[in-house]
Amino acid sequence: MVAACLSCPAAAQTKTTLEVSETVFSMLAAANVCGYDQALSSSSPVRAEVRADLVAASKLPGTAAAAKAMCAFYREHRRGGTSQVLAPYISLALNLGPPPDFAPKFPEADLPPDVGYVLGFAPLLKQYAEAANLHAIWLKHQAQYSALVNQFHEPIARMILANDTYLRVPFAEHVGRTYTIYLEPMEAPGEVHSRNYQADYYYMVVSPSNDKLHMQELRHTYLHFVLEPLLAKRATSLARLKPILQSVQKAPMEPQYKSDIGLLVIESLIRAIEARTPSDPKLPEKDRLAMVSHDQSEGYVLTGYFYEQLKVFERDTTGVKEAFPDWLHDLDVEKITKQAEEIRFASSAEPDVLQPTSSINETRIDIAEKALASGNPAGALQLAQEALTAGEESGRCYFVMARAASINGDLQDAKDDFVKAAGSAKDPRTVAWSHIYLGRILDLEDERETAVEQYKAALSAGDPSPDTRAAAERGLQAPYEPPEDSQQPKPQ
């Protein structure tokens, strides 16, 4: 791994790094083998060179068979538009260890749902990487990857310093938290993928475009990294603001912002900061206010309030950590709600940087799965119930409802919905994992004989994925026991 520390007074306290990853490279190389051809003409030259090496590697013994099995899985698990297809594999790469094993970092029960859906790709990637000697291709292009890190280190460092200076955030605020940017030219330049696991671990996978990076998206994700911890211990203040959510239900922004006031607050604050500190510092005030108006038309109705607060903040010496509680306290809920009711919402909204790019064909259950993956089981449950009412895939709906209930500790509701998912799902993997989760709940309730029947049903569901078979066989061998708490971050 080649890495550049962007802000690290002490090596153990690194908060932001610009890196390349062999695991991410391997995943994107495999996607390119399996038909991921987007934006080839505008990609970095190294992408064409690696693809030529992959073609040459296809002549090695066993490579064709390994590629065939891997790409069959890739095609069978395709969902949504181009970026939606790639999104779960990016998540998978971030949750796998290094080659040659590509072993999951966490128990499968703790992995995000989008990772679980494609987890069976990991052993197929391992087989292909060994057959094609993918590690040798990685080593061959190390110098080019290192050059990219060196090229973009300085502009990213400047962006981080500028934001920390504006918000008056001392480095100590980030100790124990990391924001990792992976440069990966095997990805189409037009795509940006960001993820956050708990509140402490942020990742971004981005590809250069015409020797430039997506600095606006990088900055937006970094502001999430800096500002989201401000929500800690603010439950009472945030609860007071919840009535505002009723006024944004018809807004076009993504559903999680309509059900979680904390998310709406932070996203509105970020957009206010972007309007106060645009890329062009000479941007006239009327154009900055136009940015605020645009954001509020998408549903981020607190943007204008925070914009005015930031004007005062800029003249003071207080840091954002100290100012934020007063901003929440001084917010007039009734006034904001009335203003929101007068806003004419736009017909559509740009997707948030921290979410996979939305597809025009995206369904409610797709959004529910994303909400569950982002750590919002309440929102996921509501969306899955709406999807079920709307007649969408009942098996997927019940499965999300069951997973949300299990996360909330409602085991009886989880059991009921896993039973319904197992009986109505069309996807063999959903059927199999419904039985596995049922078996685990029954093991926890000391119903061992009934649990064994569920594990057997999982094996006969027809899902060929190795992780499914391994989980079911472990259930047959011994009763399920929840994994012990780990010091590693668990994805939400």
Domains and their CATH numbers in the chain: 3-213 (no CATH), 233-341 (no CATH), 364-477 (1.25.40.10)
Q: What local confidence, expressed as pLDDT, does residue 178 receive?
A: 84
Cα–Cα distance, 122 to 140 (Å, whole number): 23
Count, in order, helices (H) and strands (E) of the chain: 23, 5
Burial 118-147 (b: 16+ CB within 10 A, else e): bbbbbbbbbbbbebbebeebbeebeeebee
In the sheet that holds 192-197, the strands lie side by side as 3-5, 16-19, 178-183, 201-206, 192-197
Cα–Cα distance, 10 to 17 (Å, whole number): 13
Q: What is the dihedral of CA 459, 465, 468, 471, to 10 degrees?
A: 110
Q: Return the closest-CA partner of residue 2 out of 115, 149, 197.
A: 149
Enumerate residue ranges in the chain where pLDDT < 70. Answer: 1-14, 79-84, 171-176, 190, 197-200, 210-211, 353-362, 374-375, 483-492
For 53-57, which contacts have Cβ atoms below 8 Å and span 24 or more sequence positions?
A: 53/137, 53/140, 54/29, 54/132, 54/137, 57/132, 57/133, 57/134, 57/137
- Phi–psi pair at 16, nearest 5 degrees: -135, 130
Judge contact between 424 and 433, C-beta under 8 A.
no
Other Cβ atoms closer than 10 A to 412 = 10
Cα–Cα distance, 447 to 452 (Å, whole number): 9
Q: What local confidence, expressed as pLDDT, does residue 84 receive?
A: 67
Of the CA atoms within 13 Å of residue 343, those in its CB half-sphere come to 29
Q: Which residue has the tokens 């027809």?
A: 462
Q: What local confidence, expressed as pLDDT, does residue 191 receive?
A: 77
SS3 at position 183:
strand
Q: Return the closest-CA partner of residue 302 out of 325, 271, 342, 345.
A: 271
SS3 at position 201:
strand
- Phi–psi pair at 132, nearest 5 degrees: -90, 0
- The residues, ordered by sequence, that sit 6+ positions from 55 with a Cβ below 8 Å of its Cβ are none
DSSP letter for 3, please: E
**Structure tokens of 490?**
């668990």
Q: Return the closest-CA partner of residue 301 out of 239, 358, 344.
A: 344
Task: Summarize pLDDT for 359-410 with one digit per residue, the tens.
Answer: 334 577 877 887 787 667 887 888 899 888 888 889 999 999 999 999 888 9
Judge contact between 93 and 105, C-beta under 8 A.
no
- Phi–psi pair at 402, nearest 5 degrees: -65, -45
Judge contact between 389 and 360, C-beta under 8 A.
no
- The dihedral of CA 70, 75, 78, 81: what is its sign? positive
Q: What local confidence, expressed as pLDDT, does residue 369 receive?
A: 82
Judge contact between 191 and 38, C-beta under 8 A.
yes
**Structure tokens of 216?**
């606006």
